[in-house]
Structures are given as structure tokens and as C-alpha cells.
Amino acid sequence: MKNFSNTLILLVFCLLVISCSLSRFTDREASPDITEKPAEQEEQEIKIADEEIVFDDSETSPITKLEYNRIEKGMTYPEVVKILKRKGELLNSSMVGAYKLETFRWKGDAKFSFIKCTFRNGFLTIKDESNLR
């Protein structure tokens, strides 16, 4: 009888530990997730200063190393677009925890030439270039 009661106590204890462990995972799913905040940012309209930007998507005006050097970390996508005078091609958009990551590419005129910029929550964190003149 004593062996049965010890086994029963052990079984109840194991069930209690398992239920506590599972509640941690379900609490995360039920609680408001901080990743929802960047989605709210996504709904905001991106505004550029009142000046008109002339976009040049033609091959006659290549992206240069000089323009690349004017791009600085911390800039927003509209600020980069203003420097390059053209919109970038969205390569990737993803959520990583509370961060919205977006990577854009601007092709250059030479083979394999480009500028690639990654924005975290709307601000430039990584810039890269290849084969620019």
C-alpha cells in the first residue's frame, strides 16, 4: 500500500511539472506579441519631404560608387531612394522577433554590379555594394 501511494504521489508530481512546462508555451501564444508592433508600422504611409523626386529607371544613368558612399547607416528607405533616384527591388521581407527586416537591391550598369541595403524596422543597418564604378 505504501508503494502504491508513493507511486501515486510521484505521478501527480510529474503531471504537475508537465502542466507547468506546457503553460509557459501557451502563455506566450496567448499574450500580445511584440512582433505585432512592426506590423502596425507597416500600415503607416511612408512620406518623403515635400520636394519632388525624379526617378530614373533607365540604364543611361547608372548607380555609382559616389552615390553608394552617400548612403549612411540609420537612413530610412525613402532617404536612400532620394539619393539613388530610383526605387529598389525588394529581395526579402521578414519578421525576426520584434524586428521587421527588409532587403532591397539596386542594380548597376556593369555585370554583377549592385547596391544592397537591409533595413531593420525602417532604418538602414547593413549596406553592401559590388562592382560599382
Q: What's residue 76's pLDDT?
A: 98
Do 41 and 81 have their domain in common?
Answer: yes
Return the pLDDT at 25. Answer: 45
Q: Which residues pair with 76 in a beta bridge?
A: 123
Confidence (pLDDT) at 24: 47
Asked whether residue 45 falls in the same domain as residue 6, the answer is: no
pLDDT of residue 34: 38
CA quadruple 78, 82, 88, 92: dihedral sign: negative
How high is the pLDDT of residue 7? 73
CA 42 to CA 73: how far, in whole Å?
20
pLDDT digit string (tens) for the chain, length 133 residues: 677 777 767 666 656 656 655 544 444 444 344 344 444 444 444 444 444 445 455 445 789 999 999 999 999 999 999 999 999 999 999 999 999 999 999 999 888 999 999 999 999 999 999 999 8
pTM across the whole model: 0.57
One domain, residues 82 and 114: yes
DSSP letters for 12-24: HHHHHHHHHHHHH
Specify the pairing of strand 114-120 against strand 99-107.
antiparallel
Do both 69 and 15 map to the same domain? no
Question: Same domain for 111 and 86?
Answer: yes
CATH code of the domain containing 78: 3.30.1450.10
Whether residues 55 and 70 share a domain: the answer is yes
**Which residues are registered as beta bridge partners of 89?**
105
Q: Same domain, yes or no, for 66 and 123?
A: yes
Neighbours of 124 (CB within 10 A): 19
Q: Say if residue 59 is in the same domain as residue 100.
A: yes
Residue-level pLDDT at 62: 85
Q: Do 58 and 110 belong to one domain?
A: yes
Do residue 63 and residue 117 come from a single domain?
Answer: yes
Same-domain check for residues 98 and 50: yes
Domain count, the chain: 2
What is the Cα–Cα distance from 116 to 120, expressed in whole angstroms?
A: 14
CA-CA distance, 118 to 77, in Å (whole number)?
A: 9
47 and 80 assigned to the same domain: yes
What element of type H or E holds 106?
Answer: strand 99-107
List the domain range (segments joined by +) for residue 21: 1-31
Give the list of residues 6+ apart from residue 41 with CB closer than 8 angstroms, or none: 100, 121, 122
